[in-house]
Structure 1
Amino acid sequence: MELKQLEIFAKVVEVQSFSKAAKELYVSQPTVSSNIVALEKEFEVKLFERTTKKVSVTKEGENFYRYAKEILEVSEELYYEFGKSYRQTERIVLAGSTIPSLYILPELVLKFQKKYPNVQFSIEQGDSSEVIQKVLSHQVAIGMVGQIKEDSRLCYIPFCRDKLVVITPVNNYYQELFRTDCTIKRFLEEPVIFREQKYGEKKEAELFLERYRITEEDLNVIAYMNDQEMIKRSVSCGMGISLISKRAAMDYAELGKIYIYEPDEEVSYRELYLVFEAKKKFDKLEKKFLDFTMETYKK
């Protein structure tokens, strides 16, 4: 058994493809296949179920993966400890749901790379359930989500707070509403644009309304949209109002394209979480990123 074989095996597990693993490791697909076969023969175990359409890891392969990652992480620590790295550039693989990937990670990655300039990031976006699945299938080391899916295999750490706000068009009518010091219920009598059902922020909006004893049926919903930029643009054009993340709304508000109504109540906040496998053993770089993230948002 060689470290290179374990690295190839781990990469196939993480990307769920022999060809993708070959591409990311800059080797040929036959090289990937031959190394996997060599491991299976040496340990007399079947690591993958192979079909013409996909590759899936076996139960024995899952256990083997955990040992392989431990060995690779220990070997990497040795290189760090003695002042060398066998990679020219280090890489951190992340995934985020909409708010973290669009409005948190760009700023966070920029700050991190100023401190660690040789680090590359691979970042994928999806809704919270998609991010969680990527974590569970070893495609990413760390995820950032706005919703928790209870699973004993996962660990969640709250790292910052988000706030739901009402956004409105910029015109005299809404300017007057703001002057009258009206309530959240009054704003929600206006035509409302809602996010599609699958998105975490839509579910958070529903919980938010529930705290005010308002249901979606009580609202004048004129459109459902699956993209925050589309929602902001539609609001700025005068189509209606919407409930969205304050982080997502700030760019349009600062440009004077929308107004923000910001409830003071605690119920308007939600937690954003770092998510990773409960048994995950992070390498030094991943630990640095986790520590850096917690330190950045500790306030």
Structure 2
Amino acid sequence: MNIDHVEAFVYVIHYGSFNKAANVLYLSQPSVTARIQSLERELNCKLFDRVGKQVTLTEQGKKFLPYAEQLLRIYQKSKQQLQPNTLLMESINIGCTVSVANYVISDVLSRMQQEHPDVSFRIITGSTDEIMKKLLDRELDVGFVRNVTHPNIQSVKYYVDPIRLYVYDGHPFIDQEKVTVEAISEQPLVFFECGALDWKEIHHFFEKQEFAPNIQFFVDNLETAKKLILRKACIGFLPGMTVREEVAAGRLYEITIPEVAGTALQTNIVTLRGEQPALVAELVSIANRQF
């Protein structure tokens, strides 16, 4: 099997098109197409469905992808071992939840890039379930996800982010010594709903006091929730990591509610059990030093 053909296949997937893969490989698009066609003939199956400029993997292509990526990694590592003085571009495929992608990973990658300028990074954002599946399918090298367990996954706690009530500048709660549940229930609230998070604790907070929260906005994006609060449309419970800059600038204020003090969002770093290449191990080490 020609490794150049396998490389072209992986690059088309990673970069989303034949054109982009050709640019990265310094080839013409017809050359990339020819390599894919040769690979399809050798495997005796169709790897891509093509509709105009859009390409998607066939079922056979999806099955072949993790093996192709593994072949490419093994080839690159073997080449590096045989030619230690040759500068070889390496890459790390990273999966992140939206909150990690928005508020955490850029700091980690900037430090990693300073130490390894020849390494490229591919970031995929998704839900914890999506990232776990891609990791198990060997489409990712490491993931930053919610607290999870799996027999084939090594999962280590990365950080715990407290969930607190935040209000906008000028809100009357800021000057109150104690804010009651009844007072909160009378305010318009934004609620960030995500199945992977235990937001039931916030619901229980109201249920125990027999007050129904006045939820006017249900959203699935933390940035949307934060912007609604900043525009004084509502108040809301958010993880602290998402509002660090706004709190420091005095645009948002944390309101202490003792009853929800233990509510937090936990993020873990996950890798395949027993498989942690040196570069991935170093990335994890840099990430852990951040907290």
Q: TM-score, normalised by structure 1?
A: 0.75
CA contact (8 A) 2:206 2:212 kept: no
CA contact (8 A) 1:163 1:269 kept: yes
Partner in structure 1 of residue 283 of structure 2: 289
Cα shift readout 1:240-290 (whole Å, capped 9, x = no counterpart): 2101110011211111112113556664112113355x4896654334323
Distance in 1 of aligned mates of 2:262 and 2:207: 13
Q: CA deviation at 1:31?
A: 1.9
Partner in structure 1 of residue 188 of structure 2: 191
Partner in structure 2 of residue 271 of structure 1: 266
Q: Which amino acid aligns with 2:55?
A: K
Distance in 2 of aligned mates of 1:282 and 1:19: 32
SS of the equivalent of 1:109 reads: helix
SS of the equivalent of 1:171 reads: coil
Q: CA deviation at 1:221?
A: 1.6
SS of the equivalent of 2:207 reads: coil
Verify: 1:253 aligned to 2:247, yes or no. Answer: yes
SS of the equivalent of 1:193 reads: strand
Partner in structure 2 of residue 240 of structure 1: 234
Number of positions where the alignment pairs a residue of Structure 1 with one of Structure 2: 285
CA contact (8 A) 1:14 1:140 kept: no
CA contact (8 A) 2:99 2:222 kept: no
Q: CA deviation at 1:86?
A: 5.1
Task: Give the 3 Å change call, closer, same or farther, for CA 228–260 of structure 1 in structure 2.
Answer: same
Task: Give the 3 Å change call, closer, same or farther, for CA 37–237 of structure 1 in structure 2.
Answer: closer
CA contact (8 A) 2:18 2:32 kept: yes
Q: TM-score, normalised by structure 2?
A: 0.76
SS of the equivalent of 2:84 reads: coil
Q: Which amino acid aligns with 1:268?
A: T
Q: Which amino acid aligns with 1:174?
A: F
Partner in structure 1 of residue 173 of structure 2: 174
Partner in structure 1 of residue 163 of structure 2: 164
Q: What are the equivalent positions in structure 2 for 1:16-165 lying under 5 Å apart?
A: 17-42=17-42, 44-46=43-45, 48-52=47-51, 54-59=55-60, 61-62=61-62, 64-81=64-81, 82-85=83-86, 87=88, 89-128=89-128, 131=131, 140-146=140-146, 156-165=155-164
5+ residue gaps, structure 2, are none
Cα shift readout 1:99-153 (whole Å, capped 9, x = no counterpart): 10111112111222232233343334445456556657766543323375x8888
Task: Give the 3 Å change call, closer, same or farther, for CA 151–73 of structure 1 in structure 2.
Answer: same
Percent identical among aligned pairs is: 18
